[in-house]
Amino acid sequence: MTSPVAAASVLATRRGKLILALLCAIGFLDFVDASIVNIALPSIKADLKFSVQNLQWVISGYLLTYGGFMLLGGRAADLIGRRRVLLAGTLVFGIASLTGGLAVNAGMLVGARLMQGVAAAMMVPAALSILTSTFKDGRDRATALGAWGAMGGLASAVGVVLGGLLTEGPGWRWVLFVNPPICVVLLAATYRLIEAERHHARLANFDLPGAILATGGLLLLVFALVKAPDVGWGAARTIAELAGAFALLVGFVINEARSKNALAPLSIFRVRGLSAANATQLIAAAGFLSTFFFLSLYTQNILRYSPIKTAVAYLPLCGGVIVAAGIASQLLTRIGTRPLMVVGSLVAGGGVLMLSRLPVHGTYAADLLPGTLVMSVGLGAMFVAVVTAANAGVAPSQLGLSAALLNTAQQVGGALGIAVLSAIATARSQHLLAMHDASSVALTAGFQRALLACGFFLLAAALIALRASNSKGEEPAHSNLDTVPVGATVG
């Protein structure tokens, strides 16, 4: 006799496998665009006459709107339909990518990157909430969340690889031109594989004040973090921006506590372990995303690697994340998320601490490869566990919101980490330059100090993970926390 779990297995069907592949591809596309332009920046600067100060907005513009609009995109997916929001976001992403590839000046490219971020903020929470509502039970859920977690970790490294190959091949514009054809395929597959939802949310039920406060607060927070290294952490402008962001976000919390149709019902934070999982993601992202940033600078500025050689150097890291994520997804149902989050963060932190000893005259085999392999094992396990823990026990109508919270934590954490750690690296390098050390020595010392801090961020994430729930990926979402506004039906 067939067991109930086996009978309910969506992943055992061909359609289920295709849905999982589609959703992971969507997540991968959005995650990879946060890092794919890194290696292309020198070519972009020369071609479009970017100033050094404005060049950062090719990366930061995407992170700004991606993180700023994530919460709004996640709740919109819950209220007006995940399939609808996913299709709209994919269409906008493709158009924005085409516009960026055709850019004739700096402003046009930055504008396109801002729109890409808005589109990604619609796509990612919609896709992840479709995944968690489709694959509900047993190994289906563990495998699906494991695959998604692997995509998140893999994309950051693969973005550097693809960026290098495309920049030295057909040119930097193909870093963006590669997206529209993929978006066409994803749109067609979404229409065919994802069923439409029958939502009837009315505009009167939409929490407009909450949307304005949350989006404004997150945009201002990410903007302040991105600009702080240039403006100065103690500058009046930085302090005012951070204070303004804090005030808006406090206003948002007060509004949500009073609103009958809250954008982000505070009841979601009563889900056991959700806050700890999101905090783990935020602190870990500050460490590992910054690590990729400093390693790319080290390989190109100190070891003088070409873009394509830098790309190849990341391949073992990609492989390590894939293997570790696959093993971790199988361990989830046996030992749960908490041990994997803690051990994964510790191992990843240990790998980064190994990298913090990178010398001026380093070699790939002796100084880069061991640390990146250790880090990749930890990251693969941690990503799988964090995604599973952050979605465990969440009501069906709030899956988009929970996905948005997790990805907002990653984007804010990345912006925070790069801002703070860039300041640490710069201060160390400038001090040694003032002492008349060689520029290569000063730069390397700055990278070492920043990578040491990256490792500590990941170790801190392990401590926070001790507070997370120990989900085994099998719990279906509960309905007792359901808070759908009046007039909205969930399909």
- How many whole angstroms separate alpha carbon 453 and alpha carbon 450? 5
% of the chain beyond a pLDDT of 90: 33
Report if residue 85 sits inside a domain. Answer: yes
- DSSP category for residue 356: T
Report if residue 486 sits inside a domain. Answer: no
Report if residue 474 sits inside a domain. Answer: no
Q: What is the DSSP string of 342-353?
A: HHHHHHHHHHHH
Report if residue 490 sits inside a domain. Answer: no
* Higher per-residue confidence, 203 vs 111: 111
Same domain, 296 and 386: yes
Residue 368: predicted pLDDT: 93
Q: Is residue 329 scored above 90 in pLDDT?
A: no
- How many whole angstroms separate alpha carbon 180 and alpha carbon 189? 14
Quote the number of domains for the chain.
2
* Higher per-residue confidence, 183 vs 334: 183
- How many whole angstroms separate alpha carbon 74 and alpha carbon 76? 5
How buried is residue 269: exposed, middle or buried, by Cβ count under 10 Å (0-12/13-18/19+)? exposed
Report if residue 170 sits inside a domain. Answer: yes
- Interhelix angle 236-258/208-231, rounded to 10 degrees, is 160
The reported pTM is 0.80
Same domain, 243 and 133: no
Residue 138: predicted pLDDT: 67
Cβ neighbors of 165 (< 8 A, separation 6 or more) are 308, 311
Same domain, 308 and 159: yes
Encoded tokens for 118: 């808005």
Report if residue 476 sits inside a domain. Answer: no
Q: How confident is the model at residue 66 (pLDDT cuts 50, 70, 90)?
A: confident
Could you say which of 247, 262, 277 is where a domain stops?
Answer: 262
Alpha-carbon radius of gyration of the chain = 22
Range of the domain at 166: 13-195+263-465
Same domain, 257 and 278: no
- How many whole angstroms separate alpha carbon 68 and alpha carbon 408? 8
Three-state helix/strand/coil letters over 31-56: HHCCCCCCCCHHHHHHHHCCCHHHHC
Same domain, 134 and 181: yes
Same domain, 114 and 231: no
- How many whole angstroms separate alpha carbon 169 and alpha carbon 160? 14
Report if residue 481 sits inside a domain. Answer: no
Output the furthest CA–CA distance in the chain (Å, rounded).
78
pLDDT in tens, 410-442: 888 887 888 888 888 888 988 888 888 888 899
Could you tell me where the DSSP H helices lie in 356-491?
369-391, 399-434, 439-465
CATH at 440: 1.20.1250.20
Q: Is residue 253 scored above 70 in pLDDT?
A: yes
Residue 465: predicted pLDDT: 92
Same domain, 158 and 307: yes
Residue 8: predicted pLDDT: 60
- DSSP category for residue 202: -
Report if residue 477 sits inside a domain. Answer: no
Same domain, 113 and 244: no
Which of 68-82, 183-197, 243-257, 334-348 has the weakest average pLDDT?
A: 68-82
pLDDT in tens, 433-467: 888 888 889 999 999 999 999 999 999 999 999 88
Same domain, 147 and 253: no
pLDDT in tens, 195-251: 887 755 555 566 778 888 888 888 888 788 877 877 888 889 999 999 999 999 999
Same domain, 296 and 225: no
Q: Are 167 and 327 in contact (CB under 8 A)?
A: no
Residue 189: predicted pLDDT: 95
Same domain, 343 and 306: yes
Same domain, 306 and 256: no
The per-residue pLDDT of the chain, averaged, comes to 83
